[in-house]
Amino acid sequence: MTRAAAAAAARAAHAAFLLSIAAFSFLSYSPFAYAQFIKPNVVPDLNDFVVLSPWLFAIAVLVTILTLLPALRDGGVKGSGAARAYVAAASAAALWALWRKPLITIGDSIAGLYIGLGALAFVAALAIVDHAVWPAPPVTTSDRARAARACVLAAAAASAAYAAGVPFRLHQAIGIEISAYGFAVGFAGALAGTLFVFTAIFLALIVAMTIAEAARNPPVVEYWLFVALLASAATLVFYFLVSAAIAWTGRGAWIASTSLGIAIAAAWSDIARLRSQSEIRNPQAATAVDALSLFSSPIAASRASAVVVLAALPFAAYALASAVSHLDWNFLLQKLGVLVVWVASLAAMHAAAAAPAANRPPRVSDTMLLFLALIALALYQGVMRLPRSSDALLDRYAAVDPSLRLIRDAQVTGSADTADYYAFLRSQTLVLPQSVHAPDIAFVDRLGPARVRPPHIFLFIIDSLRRDYVSVYNPAVTFTPQIARLAADSFVFDRAFTRYAGTALAVPSIWAGGMTIHTLEQYDFARRNTLLKLLDANRYVRMMDYDHLVEELVPHDANSMQLDRGKTTMEIDVCATTVELEQRLTERDATRPAFFYSLPQNVHIAVATRLQVPASKYPGFYAPIAASLERIDACLGGFVDFLKARDLYDDSILIVTSDHGDSLGEEGRWGHAYFMVPEVMRIPLIIHLPPRLRAGVAVDLAALTFSADIVPSLYALLGYDLKDLGRLYGRPLFTPTDADSSWRWRDVFLVASSYGAVYGIVRQNGRRLDVIDAVGGRDAAYDLSSGLLGRPVEETRAMSDESRREVAQQLGELAAVFHYHADR
């Protein structure tokens, strides 16, 4: 390996490391990403990265010094001053990082933005140093015909690379079947879409080439215009794809995205400069490098390396998607992987499309290029005008082909009225806490001690537990016998839903007993914490976990007894918690009732997927989740036995439910993110009551219920007369025997994503779910009356309009309660 090649490899590692630092810092600065990923420690490996980062930076600086040694030693060498300045600044920064360990203490502060920008500045600065130290290669203008060939062939190669993985991804996905005809339609759609994208790239390239013709040194200007195009494209990708996915918009997001775009382009041109040094040393080849070849050189500098890249493409396409699919956020990482594959494909095809000088094909005219572009446009338009049945085939294929998913999700949707409606939804979503006035919510005026002796209350909210993974809802389940034993002695609610498709708002809605304004920071929550008011009015001792959400909802005070002290949210485990709970119950003050709350993470996809479980052990189920659930089940059963042994069971309300469900491969989805789909919205709800509270109440087990009904139900069971706060709030599940519960069957209920402008309407007693997705830009409807998870259906325009009206009306009611005005 030459010194330049070694330096190029070092620069790639240097850039990858500092881009990772910047990404982490920007995620910390984004309130949404910090609250959802970093604070709850969703990816524990990030901790290691944070701890090691100062040492890794020091190593990166040392390696950089080694690669710059000739320039550092000899002050007369071109660029030595820049190299020395860089090394001085980088060394100072490395020492500071070792001393202050900034990523550990970064928190959710402006420091995240500054540290991220600082990290990217070192990437750009090193590129400047290398451009000063290493000589520029001789460059010629690019060959348009070769660029055209490369774009067409790259589109075909990228589509084929993803198509090759479709059978394997189909095997992993649930609920998708694709016939040979469906595969053909899907592949044709993916090919047409990819060709459309690559033709657009080609058009941008020839605009750059033509502009460069007017310059004094066209080849050099051409090359730098390509670098500028890369910076612009990367900026747009970071802003509209990455930042949008983590609900980060505005000036800060633009600054971060632009800096990332510039840093990537700088690192790219740095590596291109270093890889071109072999061309400089080879006088025969020195005149052969055109601007686009130089630009492509970080991926493939020769036909031989191009062949290797192209051969590896299907494997890379499959591996990049599979490695991140379970932990992905709204397919973001898979989409970024597609962009990487596309860039690699284009660069490799350009290198492979080089023709020997002797039989170089004739130049193609602009007319021919225009004709080719129009063919690509016509093909794309043809696919877009396929009949609806074929469009459904494309949707199905997109579920197992990330490249088609990226293309379809990027397409602009709909009419002006839809755009206006989506803008309205976005204005009601993730609103700033300071624009909201939290109301004082009370189910009971002048709340005093209950009329009945308060029972103990045990509230298990198992994060991400799906309804169809519990045997009382799905007879095929064999791994929840203890929950089934509890259910036999409890009320099992058949149509339970969450109001929010994500923990961040689902948990506050349970404590509040109703919907909440869409904001991530629940300021003044004590005013509407109806569960806490009930507990305090009845002198409950709160033995509970303080996960990162409840930490902000419930105070630590004389009535609280924290369990799992020192654990992060993602470490909360039912089995360990119940052991500690049993001990606390044994030692408790027997004159006071006990309340327990926990949000165990055992079946959360970020936790359960760490288990290695053979799929054959749980046929028909995702084995890591099933195995985790089997363990939870045993511990819950043990806890019920403990209550029985201590004569507490018949004096306890025991609730087992979840904050939301999860996608486990349905149509290629994993996790929940912005997904508002049946497997995420439907939850289990099992409530055991003491015999003394069962008498004299009625409960409609087949009626639509929400987890937000739990708290008003507790009020009712304790004998309070509740005010009806309206349809945005929960209502008691347990009523007087002559009460009318038919409204549950008739009414339409608002549901929402916790993280983005995705809203839905649950109607017809939970048989229908209509979804309006302003994030993905498409509406959907599900018929939940058949099967365990229902099926997607086409809705009529009338029903869609009705759902939109309902969502707007109920969001308006919610905004009025919280004195929120979007334009404030």
Partner 1 sequence: MNRRWIRIAWPLALLLVFAGTFRRAPGGRGSSGGSGVSCAPGRQGTATIADLESCVALDPIDVEAMLSLASAYEAAHRGGDAEAMYRRALTIEPHDARAHVALGRLLLARGDTDEARKEGETALRWHVGSAAAARLVAEARAR
Residues at the site binding partner 1, with contacts judged by CB under 8 A: 196, 199-200, 203-204, 206-207, 210-211, 213-214, 366, 369-370, 373-374, 377, 380-381, 384-386, 388, 391, 408, 410-414, 418, 491, 494, 696-703, 737-738, 741-742, 745-747, 764-765, 767-768, 777-779, 781, 783, 785, 794-800, 802
137 versus 189: smaller Cβ distance to partner 1: 189
Maximum Cα–Cα distance for the chain, whole Å? Answer: 98
Helix (H) or strand (E) holding 374: helix 366-384
Cα 67 from Cα 72, distance rounded (Å): 10
User: Closest approach of Cβ 373 to partner 1, in Å?
Assistant: 6
62 versus 702: smaller Cβ distance to partner 1: 702
Q: What tokens does 669 get?
A: 């989805």
Closest CA to 500 of 658, 294, 314: 658
The number of beta carbons lying within 10 Å of the beta carbon of residue 63 is 17
User: Closest approach of Cβ 197 to partner 1, in Å?
Assistant: 9
37 versus 198: smaller Cβ distance to partner 1: 198
| 496 half-sphere exposure, CB direction, 13 A CA radius | 27
307 versus 703: smaller Cβ distance to partner 1: 703
User: Closest approach of Cβ 687 to partner 1, in Å?
Assistant: 12
Q: What tokens does 266 get?
A: 């700088």
**Residue-wise over 408-429: b if at least 16 C-beta within 10 A, else e?**
bbeeeeeeeebeebbebbbebb
Backbone angles phi, psi at 597, to 5 degrees: -140, 140
User: Closest approach of Cβ 591 to partner 1, in Å?
Assistant: 32
The number of beta carbons lying within 10 Å of the beta carbon of residue 243 is 23
Cα 674 from Cα 518, distance rounded (Å): 14
User: Closest approach of Cβ 767 to partner 1, in Å?
Assistant: 6
User: Closest approach of Cβ 244 to partner 1, in Å?
Assistant: 17
Cα-to-chain-centroid distance, residue 668: 14
Cα 390 from Cα 89, distance rounded (Å): 58
User: Closest approach of Cβ 206 to partner 1, in Å?
Assistant: 5
130 versus 700: smaller Cβ distance to partner 1: 700
275 versus 408: smaller Cβ distance to partner 1: 408
130 versus 770: smaller Cβ distance to partner 1: 770
Total residues belonging to the chain: 824
User: Closest approach of Cβ 82 to partner 1, in Å?
Assistant: 35
**Residue-wise over 290-301: b if at least 16 C-beta within 10 A, else e?**
bbbbbbbbbbbb
614 versus 691: smaller Cβ distance to partner 1: 691
The residue whose two tokens read 């509890």 is 486
CA angle, 36 then 263 then 157, to 5°: 85
Residue 323's SS3 state is helix
Closest CA to 741 of 730, 729, 749, 733: 733
Answer for the pair 400, 331: CB distance below 8 angstroms, yes or no.
no
92 versus 368: smaller Cβ distance to partner 1: 368
61 versus 781: smaller Cβ distance to partner 1: 781
Parallel, antiparallel, or unpaired: how do β-strands 704-706 and 560-563 relate? Answer: unpaired
User: Closest approach of Cβ 395 to partner 1, in Å?
Assistant: 11
User: For the packed helices 332-352 and 180-213, what is the interaxial angle rounded to 10 degrees?
Assistant: 60
DSSP at 550: G
418 versus 609: smaller Cβ distance to partner 1: 418
User: Closest approach of Cβ 357 to partner 1, in Å?
Assistant: 25
User: Closest approach of Cβ 771 to partner 1, in Å?
Assistant: 12
390 versus 562: smaller Cβ distance to partner 1: 390
Residue 500's SS3 state is strand
26 versus 424: smaller Cβ distance to partner 1: 424
Cα 655 from Cα 54, distance rounded (Å): 46
User: Closest approach of Cβ 708 to partner 1, in Å?
Assistant: 21
Answer for the pair 106, 67: CB distance below 8 angstroms, yes or no.
no
270 versus 468: smaller Cβ distance to partner 1: 468
Answer for the pair 339, 261: CB distance below 8 angstroms, yes or no.
no
Answer for the pair 783, 767: CB distance below 8 angstroms, yes or no.
yes
User: Closest approach of Cβ 371 to partner 1, in Å?
Assistant: 11
DSSP at 824: -
Closest CA to 36 of 506, 512, 664: 506
The residue whose two tokens read 């090193």 is 126
204 versus 611: smaller Cβ distance to partner 1: 204
User: Closest approach of Cβ 800 to partner 1, in Å?
Assistant: 5
User: Closest approach of Cβ 333 to partner 1, in Å?
Assistant: 23
Cα 500 from Cα 549, distance rounded (Å): 14
